[in-house]
Structure 1
């Protein structure tokens, strides 16, 4: 199981993504963005899953990371 973190340009996009993930049966939580990662709105969604669930992520997302301990691997930057 992978630990993912998505950052967003707006709080609303984070809320929509959280709602979409939960509706898809993925355990997710909203939290402040860790200091090692920067974000426009300061809110992120973290979730554990086998795959990205990219279709659940709002169109106003900023970036998607895979977390491994203290390391954050950038998987995708959204436009």
Structure 2
């Protein structure tokens, strides 16, 4: 399962990518798809699964990247 995580900052995206790679999974930064929105314009595409305990403060949302579109799996609560 491929997932896309969006972030409030570029630094948040870079930190999350490193965190996922330390777990032994493939992850890469890319521009946020037009169908999704994010404050910083970059996202991390990675191999799932995603657990809420993986969320960081800069994480905005996590979507499943499916052939028929994107499905919201997790959204960070507003502070």
Q: What is the distance in 2 between the residues matched to 1:27 and 1:75?
A: 19
Which residue does 1:8 correspond to in 2?
A: 7
Report if the CA contact (8 A) 1:14-1:58 is conserved.
no
More moved, 13-22 vs 56-65: 56-65
Q: What is the distance in 1 between the residues matched to 2:39 and 2:60?
A: 8
Uncovered stretches (5+) of structure 2, i.e. residues with no partner: none
Q: TM-score, normalised by structure 2?
A: 0.88
Q: What is the distance in 2 between the residues matched to 1:57 and 1:25?
A: 17
Report if the CA contact (8 A) 1:21-1:53 is conserved.
no
RMSD, aligned α-carbons: 1.3
Which residue does 1:31 correspond to in 2?
A: 30
Q: Please list the CA deviations of residues 15-43 of structure 1 after superposition, one character each: whole Å capped at 9, or x if unmatched.
A: 00000000110100000000011111001
The alpha-carbon deviation at position 45 of structure 1 amounts to 0.2
The alpha-carbon deviation at position 55 of structure 1 amounts to 3.6
Which residue does 1:65 correspond to in 2?
A: 63
4+ long deviations beyond 4 Å: none
The number of residues matched between the two structures is: 77
Q: Secondary structure of 2:73's partner?
A: strand
Uncovered stretches (5+) of structure 1, i.e. residues with no partner: none
